[in-house]
Amino acid sequence: MILTGAAISEAVAVGDIVIQPFTSAYVGPNSYDFRLGDRCLTYNERTLDSALSNAAQCQIVPPSGLVLEPGRLYLFNTEETMGSTKYVPIIRGRSSVARLGVFINITADLIDIGSINQWTLQLHAVNPTRVYPGMLIGQVTFWRTQGTVELYSGKYRDRTSPVPSLLYLDFASERSADGKG
């Protein structure tokens, strides 16, 4: 069951949902619109490897914005710190942004319950598109759960900047677990 905008506002008031800073004008009928942060991370190499730590550089995007080029991945932080210890957040772009051909995530729209931080957005564009820090880029919905809640304690917690993929840590831990080196 998805929370209505009124339920999101109530949950923020009692602390079941964290949205900081929170602006009531950005509450929609069943979601909250969040802003694009000003930090953008891009990988140094064009070809990436899931099993390796792919070197990346972070830049501060000025108010004049940044043009996203097709065929390249841009990891941004959200301006807001967001999360919930009670509801499951699911993020998506705003239709206004999608109509420009800008993806803000890549098939991973589900946020773990208990993951409360600035989230890393995966931007990529169909056509060259200029984006600006602080623009309303996406929306978050909140969903009720069934079952005992166990909070997220994974590798991306407590972040305030975009974080590159840490998938290679899985490979490292599985190598040590199976003893094959």
Note the residues at the interface with other proteins (CB under 8 A). Answer: 1-2, 43, 46-51, 54, 71-73, 75, 88, 105-110, 112-115, 120, 122, 124, 143-152, 154, 156, 163-167, 170-171, 174
- What six digits make up the tokens of 30? 């069943």
Least Å from the CB of residue 43 to other proteins = 7
Least Å from the CB of residue 116 to other proteins = 12
Total residue length of the chain: 181
User: Which CB, 94 or 124, lies closer to other proteins?
Assistant: 124
User: Which CB, 2 or 13, lies closer to other proteins?
Assistant: 2
Least Å from the CB of residue 58 to other proteins = 13
Are 125 and 87 within 8 A, CB to CB?
no
Rounded to an integer, what distance in angstroms lies between the CA atom of residue 71 and that of residue 78? 22
User: Which CB, 21 or 29, lies closer to other proteins?
Assistant: 29
Query: CA 162, 5, 13: angle at the middle one, nearest 5?
Result: 75
User: Which CB, 26 or 90, lies closer to other proteins?
Assistant: 90
**In whole angstroms, how far apart are CA 177 and each of 53, 84, 153, 173?**
19, 32, 20, 6
Rounded to an integer, what distance in angstroms lies between the CA atom of residue 139 and that of residue 91? 6
Least Å from the CB of residue 23 to other proteins = 25
User: Which CB, 98 or 136, lies closer to other proteins?
Assistant: 98
Least Å from the CB of residue 54 to other proteins = 7
Query: Who's near 134: CB < 8 A, 6+ residues apart?
Result: 35, 36, 38, 63, 79
